[in-house]
Structure 1
Amino acid sequence: MSTLDKLAAQLGEDVMKAMDETGDDRLFMEISKTIGAASQTLEEAFLTDVRVRLAERKAREHLNRRLKQHRAGAGGA
């Protein structure tokens, strides 16, 4: 993993935690503007990381809902 990828992933993880704590679901956009002022390359890697994390989170939520519905319909089995 390159330095760029490591930094983007670490920052992405930290920003996701901060978004959860603060309830600010657009914080990543504010942070990306700050990054972009210094490095467009890091900004793009960061945004990709956060978008992938957000997509994975939505997919897991959907999966969990479907499993819950299935299990409720199957008598909890």
Structure 2
Amino acid sequence: MADFIQDLADGLAQDVLENSKELGDAFFYEQVSKVIGASSPTLQEAFMTSIRIRLAEKRGRDFLQKALTAKREGSAMPTAPREAEKGGH
């Protein structure tokens, strides 16, 4: 059942993030989370985990692209936020 819940949550997270720009609300996922949580806190938690992971992955890719661009142009490399030094999960 856990895989089923995660698959549902991740699919919804992907759809929400892809469509939030069209909706004009980068934090639309917070509203979706509230709707989900009213019926299933378990699905809500899995959804928010997928949202956080997908957003973190996008930030990582953006940082990589900035570093590569800086290296190729001979400009200063970007610096990671200080929070990155604290670790995570």
Q: CA deviation at 1:65?
A: 0.5
Shift of 1:21: 2.3
**Residue 5 of structure 1: aligned partner:** 6
Q: Could you tell me which residue of structure 2 aligns to residue 65 of structure 1?
A: 66
3-state SS of 1:2 partner: helix
**1:27 partnered with 2:28:** yes
TM-score w.r.t. structure 2 length? 0.78
What is the letter of the counterpart of residue 56 of structure 2? A
Write out the 4+ residue segments of structure 1 that deviate beyond 3 Å after TM superposition: none
User: For structure 2, which runs of at least 5 residues remain unmatched after alignment?
Assistant: 76-89
- Structure 1 stretches of 5 or more lacking a match? none
Q: Name 2:86's counterpart in structure 1.
A: none
Q: Encode CA deviations 1:18-46: one digit per residue, 9 max, x unaligned.
A: 11323311100000000000000000000
